A and B are shown apart, each in its own frame.
Chain A
Amino acid sequence: MSVSLEINLGGLHMKNPVTVASGTFGYGQEYDAYFDVAQLGAVTTKSLTLKPRAGNKPPRLVETPAGMLNAIGLQNVGLEAYLEHKLPFLRQKDVPIIANIYGHGPDEYAELARLLEEKGGADAIEANLSCPNVHDAKSSRGTVLVAQDPELVCAYTKTIRSATSLPLYVKLTPNVATIVEPALAAQEGGADAVSLINTLIGMAIDPETRRPRLANIVGGLSGPCIRPVAVKMVWDAARALDIPVIGMGGICSTEDAVQFFLAGASAVALGSMSFRQPDAAIRVVNGLADYLEGHELSGIAALVGGMAQ
């Protein structure tokens, strides 16, 4: 039986449903020594901003049980250096590029999306409305992550939508009472998919020095410890939405990825696991083909939302 892993993710054709989570895979070249990144369904870039960002002061990283906290603060080379120095490697790889973007206010997101499309720097846009390590969105409730306010999610998504014809994914935060509202708001704003979940906000304190382990005090929790939260949020969102969900959060293995498909994800992304095992994402690609064949399924679609009850 021949299986096909191909999917169409909100208008983006992918040869398999596996990408990488933004910020865990650099701009692709960092992992070139370990496998051919063209074998991935797509490469999702580190968050890009219009101008380069130096990010937060160190220490930026602390290990936690079955996971890690990070507060990188969106350090990145900026759009111009991305187009000039990072894009050529990805383009010669013949792999779809999901450019993750971060802006100050909706217009800057829109400008990034417009420029990326114009310069051929992306095949899809993932708007990071949920970085826990920068704080510059204001709403009637004070300073929040954009993704914590459904009205803002809808407004931002609409503005970005109007600036690009590329498939548009909106990355949401799990730091909310319910994921369904912001997810529906993204859909209403014209998103082609939502990415769930970004990191959970957390912190760690050194009991000896009494100081926070991270210079930023708080950071984003990732790794296998957050997986059950992510699976549940994908399940919640997928049942409420008409657009696809890209599931991520602690995926380490094929079996983990299958959980996300069963919960309703149409595609998955590997995050922190690439730090531990550089070729983890490609292992999941290969593992999914074996899983489908072993279970006599012809494609991923047969799994999506297929949790037995």
Chain B
Amino acid sequence: MPSVVDCPIVLRQEVAEGHYRISVQAPGIARVAKPGQFAMLQVSGGYAPFLRRPMSIERIFSDGVSFLFKVEGEGTRLLAEMDTGHNLSVHGPLGNGFTIDTVCDRHILVAGGIGVAPLPALAERVKRDCGKAPDVIIAARTERLLLCEDDFRRMGCAIHITTDDGSAGEKALATGMLERLAPDARTCVYACGPNPMLRAVSQMMLDAGVMCLVSLEAQMACGDGACLGCVIESKSEIEGEKMLRVCKDGPVFDASLIDWAAHDLRDDQ
């Protein structure tokens, strides 16, 4: 069950230019959180900004969780300014999280930019449940924006790096690297990143008959499935609903459910 708790910030790091990690002490949330779930973080004691900010849970520890985020606007700027010791109001864990199919032989995680945020917790869980750390594709614009490489390495993941400018790893898109890894029917792919990347990865995996889970991002107000502000269109009706709530029905979806043609990519530049 989710709850709303004031959690002391125990660590704050700038992990790359404009990218931050915040760890909070939150044993109750850590106990029930699953990889792929998120929390709504209150960024201001006042009412501007008014709404909480949804953030993926990056890692789940015994006594707390961490969040990884990029400063995009006022809310994330305020969050990045919070120092250790500050009590952060955390509402979570929310959403469904990743389901790990332990029957699969191979697990490939695909991270695009800050979309890496929910994947370290997933990599740890895959390693625990399947006995082997997953492959991880980390795609970034440029070398200094590569995130979590050391964390995945410490877990024993096989890491495949691509950058748009070739400053690290291969000059390629995540899809190019994914193709090279030749996922097959016994592979499960988990992706999080910009919508154009998710759309391309989904299409490729659907065509290849590979199980693919994607974690989506959306503007949210409540995080609890009440406001219906964060919906995406699905290809088919699920229990009579054509609109899926990213917060409650997701944020992790089977890629085959999403109607990418209807999906508005306006915010993805």
Task: List chain A positions with a Cβ less than 8 A from chain B.
Answer: 23-26, 30-31, 33-34, 46, 52, 54-55, 57-63, 65-68, 70, 72, 75, 77, 81, 209, 211, 215, 223-225, 252, 272, 274-279
Nearest A residue (CB) for B89: A277
Kindly list 19 other residue pairs between chains A and B, CB separation below 8 angstroms, not including A61-B220, A81-B240.
A24-B222, A26-B225, A30-B226, A33-B224, A34-B3, A54-B243, A59-B266, A59-B267, A60-B229, A60-B230, A61-B227, A61-B229, A68-B221, A70-B227, A223-B47, A224-B47, A275-B222, A276-B52, A277-B4
Report the bound CA distance from A247 to B42 in whole Å: 26
Interface assignment of B204: CB less than 8 Å from any CB of chain A: no
Q: Contact: A34 with B227, CB < 8 Å? A: no
Q: A58-B218, A81-B240 are in contact. Are A31 and B226 (CB under 8 A)?
A: yes
What's the tally of chain B residues with a CB closer than 8 Å to chain A?
Answer: 38
Q: Contact: B231 with A211, CB < 8 Å? A: no
Q: Contact: B91 with A278, CB < 8 Å? A: yes
Q: Classify the secondary structure of A's interface with B.
A: loop
Q: Contact: A57 with B219, CB < 8 Å? A: no
* The residue from A61, A66, A77, A274 contacting B219, defined by CB atoms under 8 A apart: A61
Q: Contact: B50 with A30, CB < 8 Å? A: no
Report the bound CA distance from A63 to B42 in whole Å: 14
Interface assignment of B1: CB less than 8 Å from any CB of chain A: yes
Q: Contact: A224 with B3, CB < 8 Å? A: no
Q: A24-B227, A62-B219 are in contact. Are A57 and B51 (CB under 8 A)?
A: no
* The residue from A77, A252, A278 contacting B4, defined by CB atoms under 8 A apart: A278
Q: Contact: A275 with B51, CB < 8 Å? A: yes
Among residues 247 to 269 in chain B, which have CB atoms less than 8 Å away from a CB atom of chain A? 262, 264, 266-267, 269
Residues of B within 8 A of A275 (CB): 51-52, 221-223, 226-227
Interface assignment of B18: CB less than 8 Å from any CB of chain A: no
Q: Contact: A274 with B243, CB < 8 Å? A: no
Q: Classify the secondary structure of B's interface with A.
A: loop
Nearest A residue (CB) for B267: A59
Residues of A within 8 A of B243 (CB): 54-55, 75
* The residue from B2, B240, B241 contacting A33, defined by CB atoms under 8 A apart: B2
Nearest B residue (CB) for A70: B229
Taking the closest CB of chain A, its distance from the CB of B33, in whole angstroms, is 14
A–B pairs, 18, beta carbons within 8 Å? A30-B226, A34-B2, A54-B243, A55-B231, A55-B243, A59-B267, A63-B50, A66-B47, A66-B50, A72-B228, A75-B228, A77-B240, A81-B240, A215-B264, A224-B50, A275-B51, A275-B227, A278-B4
* The residue from A52, A59, A223, A279 contacting B50, defined by CB atoms under 8 A apart: A223
Task: List chain B positions with a Cβ less than 8 A from chain A.
Answer: 1-4, 42, 47-52, 75, 91, 218-233, 240-243, 262, 264, 266-267, 269
Taking the closest CB of chain B, its distance from the CB of A77, in whole angstroms, is 7
Report the bound CA distance from A23 to B228 in whole Å: 9
Taking the closest CB of chain B, its distance from the CB of A276, in whole angstroms, is 6
Report the bound CA distance from A92 to B242 in whole Å: 29
Report the bound CA distance from A223 to B266 in whole Å: 26
* The residue from B48, B221, B262 contacting A70, defined by CB atoms under 8 A apart: B221
Residues of B within 8 A of A55 (CB): 228, 231, 243
* The residue from B220, B231, B266 contacting A75, defined by CB atoms under 8 A apart: B231
Report the bound CA distance from A63 to B233 in whole Å: 21
Report the bound CA distance from A23 to B52 in whole Å: 18
Q: Contact: A31 with B224, CB < 8 Å? A: yes
Nearest A residue (CB) for B221: A275
Report the bound CA distance from A33 to B222 in whole Å: 13
Taking the closest CB of chain A, its distance from the CB of B66, in whole angstroms, is 23
Nearest A residue (CB) for B246: A58
Q: Contact: B219 with A25, CB < 8 Å? A: no
Taking the closest CB of chain B, its distance from the CB of A270, in whole angstroms, is 12
Residues of B within 8 A of A25 (CB): 226
Nearest A residue (CB) for B230: A61
Residues of A within 8 A of B51 (CB): 63, 68, 275-276
Report the bound CA distance from A173 to B224 in whole Å: 27
Residues of B within 8 A of A33 (CB): 1-3, 224
Q: Contact: A61 with B47, CB < 8 Å? A: no
Residues of B within 8 A of A31 (CB): 224, 226
Report the bound CA distance from A215 to B233 in whole Å: 13
Residues of B within 8 A of A274 (CB): 222, 226
Q: A60-B229, A75-B228 are in contact. Are A65 and B48 (CB under 8 A)?
A: yes
